[in-house]
Each structure stands twice: as structure tokens, then as C-alpha cells.
Chains A and B, each alone.
Chain A
């Protein structure tokens, strides 16, 4: 199913400066794996070394946070938009 993945501004430089990428996927996991196989440099910014999505990487399907759906197993359908949205964290020593 063709779905659209929205790339956040800080990561567009690793995806040919594209705002979005259309790809075939049945779940969020498939979409992200297809995205990172197409644009390998995205991988280290989205996933930690143990292969899990980084804590400050948030994924929405049509404006709904996948944490409230079935996380990466969330099904997607033709015409759905998957958005990768940063959250920001830090601190002093």
C-alpha cells in the first residue's frame, strides 16, 4: 500500500532533502525499515545501537501517536501519512 512518510527538517539532509517519501508498507515498522534501507544515513538518527527507535523519535499515523496505537506494529493503509516528529531533551552535567 503506498503511504507517505514525512521527514523532519533535521533529517532531510540524509534523504535527498525531501520533505516526504512515498513507499509501500502494511505497518509502521515496514515503512520505517523501507525508509532506512532507501536512505541508510537515517538509521543512526532514528534507531539506537540495540535496534530500537530512539526515545526522542516520535511517530504519528495521521496525527495519532503510535504509542497509543500498536506502536511499530500499527497497520497503515493506502493514503495514510506517517510523520516522524522529534522531541527535544538535554540538560547540564
Chain B
């Protein structure tokens, strides 16, 4: 289960709306306790796919390292990623699957005509063949660590 505070959801939504009709992307920082994860912070990042930003996103390894450093500085972990699907459902595409890493939580949310819609989270199976949905629990306030 992935816990996400409302204020962070709001920031993810705003990012998706701002970048619409392009895909937006960013890092999820937080903590893992057993099977549960809590998102405690975000690092909004630039979508580097300038050739096809409406249906593709990419985050460079440099930005990944930056997000890892930011997480470490707070005593958290880089637990996953978020990206928007402009006018497309909040489930992973085949392209998403081919490029996904296991372990990370992948939040995908639909932005329909500029308005944020459904948000879901996914994790890739060990054999890379498919995803499992990870339920999101929306919480009103984020615990302090």
C-alpha cells in the first residue's frame, strides 16, 4: 500500500495540469515499512523527451542521482516515480512496462483536457512480464519523520 498526503497529491495534480498536454514526471521520496510505503516528499523533474512529450517521458540518470541525494539528505528513500497520461487512462502502457524497474512505485494519473482525473500506483513483477496494482491510501496529513 502507498500512502500519499493530500497536499502532495495536490502538487502532483498541479504539475500535470501545468505541463498538459505534455506528460509531466517526478520522483517520490519517502519511507518503506514492511509492505507499506509513505510518500513524504516530491522532486518534480523535467521531461527530457522533447521529441514526443505528449506521450513519452524520460528522466536522466543525473536527475535520478539528484533525487537520490535529496532523499538521503532527509533520511528518506527514493521509492518511486510519478508521471501523467494526458487524455489517456491511468494504467501502464506497454512502453511503460518495457522501461520499468522492479521495486519502485509508479504513480500514473490521467489528465483529461487539462483536468487531473484518476490516479493509480503500479509495481512491476520480478519477471518484468506485468504489473501489480498497489493501492493508494489518500491521507489528510503526512506523518513527520
How far does the Cβ of B2 sit from chain A's closest Cβ, in whole Å?
15
Q: Given B92, B103, B128, which contacts A90 in the complex, CB threshold below 8 Å?
A: B92
Min CB distance A16 to B, Å, is: 15
Q: Contact at A92–B126, with CB atoms within 8 Å?
A: no
| Contacts known (A58-B61, A85-B64); A44 close to B128, Cβ less than 8 A | yes
Contact B96 A90 (CB under 8 A): yes
Q: Tell me whether A85 and B55 are in contact in the complex, defined as CB-CB below 8 angstroms, given that A90-B96, A92-B86, A92-B88 are known contacts.
A: no
Grouping DSSP codes into helix (H, G, I), strand (E, B) and loop, the B interface class, with mixed when no group exceeds half, is: mixed
A83 to chain B: closest residue by CB = B65
Interface size on B, residues (CB 8 A): 37
Task: Indicate whether B59 reaches chain A with its CB closer than 8 angstroms.
Answer: yes
B104 and A56 contacting across the interface, CB-CB below 8 Å: no
Q: How large is the interface on A (under 10, 10 to 19, 20 to 34, 35 or more residues)?
A: 20 to 34
Specify which of A10, A56, A92 is in contact with B85 (CB 8 Å cutoff): A92
> Is B99 located at the chain interface by the 8 A CB criterion?
yes
Q: A21 near B: Cβ within 8 Å?
A: no
With an 8 A cutoff between CB atoms, is A86 at the interface? yes
CB distance from B86 to the nearest CB of A (A): 7
B58 and A88 within 8 A (CB): yes
Residue of A9, A44, A56 touching B127 (CB-CB under 8 A):
A44
On B, residues with C-beta under 8 Å from A are 23, 25, 49, 52, 55-61, 64-65, 68, 77-78, 81, 83, 85-88, 92-96, 99-104, 106, 126-128
- Nearest first, the 7 A-B pairs at minimum CB distance are A92-B88, A10-B103, A91-B56, A90-B96, A58-B61, A88-B59, A89-B99
B-contacting residues of A (Cβ < 8 Å)? 8-11, 13-14, 41, 44-45, 55-56, 58, 60, 65, 85-93
